[in-house]
A and B are shown apart, each in its own frame.
Chain A
Amino acid sequence: MSAKQHVGIPLEPERYELRAASPYRFDLDRRDFFKFLGAGIVVVSVLKPALVAQESGGGNRRRGDSLPQEINAWLHIGEGGKVTVYTGKVEVGQNIRTSLTQAVSEELHVPTDQIEMVMGDTQLTPFDMGTFGSRTTPTMNLQLRKVAAAARDILIGIAAEQWKIDAQHLVAANGKVTDPQTHRSLEYAALAKGRQLTETLPAEDPLIPAANWKVAGQSTPKVDGRDFVTGRHRYPSDQKLPEMLYGRVLRPEAFNATLVSIDTQKAEQMGATVVRDGNFVGVAAESSTLAEAALATIRAQWKSDPQLSNKELFDYLRKDATQAKDPSGDGDRYDVGAVDQALGSADYKLQATYTVAYIAHVPLEPRAALAKWDGDQLTVWTGTQRPFGVRGQLAEAFHIPEDHVRVFMPDTGAAYGGKHTGETAIEAARLAKAARRPVKLVWTREEEFSWAYFRPAGVMDVTSGVRSDGTITAWEFHNYNSGSAGIRTYYEIPNQRIVFHEVTSPLRQGSYRALAATANHFARESHMDELAHAVEMDPLEFRLKNLKNDRLRAVFQSAAKQFGWGKAKAAGQGFGMGGGYEKLGNIATFAEVKVDRTSGTVKIVRVVSAFECGAIVNPDNLRNQIEGSNVQGLGGALFEAIEFSNGKILNGRLSQYRVPRFSDLPALETVLLDRKDIPSVGAGECPLIGLAPAIANAIFDATGVRLRALPLVPNGLKTS
């Protein structure tokens, strides 16, 4: 047997995330640094060269007296003892402002309320490629821990020097360095006073082992939670500047339409600033009401070609892929063993096709941006997961250098992978440029549904062979369009052919929480269930028979135990499971459904998730992320689907596009496996992937009906 192995399938980032712009120059040099921050102690975190390409998308670029390019975070201890941490990561509800504060607090031995995190401000924070792919916890959390540990050692060193004793005898705790022998102590403020110390991170700083974590590893409430329950926090859409105007954009009648003619006279007469620049038409006015009224008076004619509808989608995806010049030659494939022979000699052979629809992110805060020009200097406040990427897009759009653009990202009303791009920022800036005043643009929900981007739809063809004893011998898996995240199987199968086929998507598509891992796990874990039934084995036993990975076995077994797998069921009741491995985390999800075949109602009664992501940083927030993943995942699993025809979205309102509500909520139980011996990884995405197959398998268990398309039951499940 010959093994031809391609390692071209990238785990992360997904292809549409690679569009991040090239690396940028660094904004502050050392002297500016203290001028800006004030005296004190600064520790900078420098990425190892191997990580530079991965995390910042570029190589070394040093110039003159500037700090090195590979810096990805820094920490400042001011003369007053205040700790300020600068990172390009952003907060969109995943609660990293809190988890990163915890990490610093633990290593530096400072209470969390003395730490301020400055995040996602392209002028103040080091370059960061973006907040996605569950990268913050495995990378930034670790780097900040190292930075904070180094700062602590500097402070101890200063105290040791002052007291003329060995640093080893001193202890840092609660914002002070103490000499336990004499009980004398010095506050960090006193130690930082009058200094201008910069330290680049020493490589071999000892970190506190997870088992000894005091703050990290515990549940810490959201650091600025009070601002959120009082309405004081200002999201991007809440930003305001003196003299600010409100913007609105005229949307074409269909995607890819071109403007033929336009009459904007009335809008101008109403006092609005009207901009027409190519296909861009927008207005800015003193109030949002006036902007809307002015927009409504504009008469425009558009021209567009006929476009695909969702009814023809899946045929198109397969067809477009086969018409590509080199259908599978882009390296996105994995071959091992001899699949065709193995299929030929299998006791049972199974072939099935699974599909997933386009779905929308529906972050509750739509895209928003406030833009302000000072000469050719542009400042934009906007909600994005890639502030530096948006800076690049703005610089490109307005033909100005990147250092003329500052993008600031206030903590934002969610994103789920849907806010990587800067279209709203560009539109607001274009209007502000014409109006010569600051302009705020908040997309309407309808705009957010139609003019953002979607989770890719996809088709998955699976062909498999299995021996009658339940050993899988052959596995052929093709994914059309939805993506390659999570495409590889973790089951032990000697003969595999796994191919991702890139397709020209009829709709604008991009990242969505968990990327294609949702689609690929849906197909794989549904198919595993089908195979188990084919050889008449218990689905759990069948999985475990073909699974060697200890961490995955552990989550399946833990979830099964908590769920009570194997218990008797009532009529209409069904149990199912799904699970897998993604973004270095391991999940197993077990679902209980109740199906009423008369009314067609499918109720998800209970969901048990067992999750393991290494050492746990904040158990309460982790549970929150897992519960949230399950609730969000319910929508895509059961009823969310974008309908479209001829370049238009047909259900682009919340009254037409159903998302999970209180009444959809199942009982959620979470089992956390804490592996203190394994570095922490992110948890915002992986927990989502087991739910859809668990529900599909449970519906089969309840009814004998095998559903192979997401959403599973947009219109219920009636007996036909």
Chain B
Amino acid sequence: MSVLAWFIANWSAVLIPLAVFTVALIAMFWLRRRGRVWLFRWVRRTKWQADSILVAALDGPSLMWCLILSALLALMVSSVLAEWKDAAVKVLWTLFLASIALSVVNVLSGLVGFYGPRIKLPTRSVLLLQNVARILIIAIAFLIALDIWGVPTTPLLFLIGVGILAALFGFRDAVPNLVAGFQLGASQLIRAGDYIKLETGEEGYVTDVNWRTTRILALDQSTIIVPNSRLVQGRVVNYGRPLKKAAAPFRFNSRTHLTELTGMKASNLKELADLLRQVPDSVIYYHTHHFFEEHHQLTPELSNDFAIWASDALGEDVLGESLASIDTFAFPNMAALRDRLIGIIEDYSSKQLYPRQAMEGRAFYFMKSVSVVLPSRYVVHDLREFVEALRKITPGSLYFHMFESRLRLGQGRNDFSIWLDENLGDKELADEVAHLDPYTYTLEGLRSALIQLIEKRIK
């Protein structure tokens, strides 16, 4: 029989599948076109930077999917031998599977290639991850293909399962951090340069977010390495981008002191005034300031040792009140304060008809303070770091920068105010801090007042 005769006898067996194939292909192409239009619109709308990877991975293979699905439909309506049809369906499903696998491989490789560098994944790790993804997808596709062709896959699946479990066990610590690294990279919630504070107390500027860990530069200039999973699971306060940097950092000092005895003592007001003229500044400083440091937990009383002694040991309450009401903050240096003390005592003594003598053991013992100043571990470069360090420094450190630097070192202003003005260029805030009268607060109250001022400024 000639071909023509065969075709005339069996035209429907050829033309119907061909027609089905053609119609299905046209329909598929139309669907694909609609799908691509929708996809490109979505790409334009979304801010997701990796969308192009998805588009590229789907665009080429979708042509093949149209052809394969159309051929499958045509095959179903054809009247070829059952064995041939069965084999052809398997071939087509295998091709379809291979094409899907190829697309998934492209998407995963693309995503890893896109996000890997963004979360500081080394190039080798990116390649490794891409290869792992490829192998995994190809293995899954291969297993499905075996199933399509009727080959038993259970033992193979079991082996693969065991292998995966072993791998997960081996990398059980790394996996959560890796996943968290991807999350951080994708969400951009924490980026290099942000100031963050963890619930466990660590804080500082983020210097690096890589695939396993995040590095934080703490206020004491140490580097804290935090596993990414902790950042994702725990509570993290992110203060955002760095503030204006100072021209030079502020280095907090820690200050403590030793009390030195002078062996000098006064038993009446004349002796007190005479000795006040002779003693060094450090003695005047001690007796007008040690209360603020040693009893910093108490509500500040406007008191100094001279006032207390005049009232308690001599019973001179009026003089005690005059001495207690001296506004230490108003004096720019120790010499002026000394003159004022002597002036008040002598003025009062000149009006006394019967000078009083302290009982034995109740004399005024002159002492002085020897300050020992040590660099603390806190070094700050901007207001955010400054305010966080303020929360942590010892009362002695706060005392040194607010009290001692102003009066004892004769700077006229406290250290904080000088730094804010000269190194941070914030004169307004510097003036506010300079006008804060530290003598009217407890040390903790003073700390709170400073923190409030600076927090307000940051906002």
Judge: A and B partners, yes or no. no
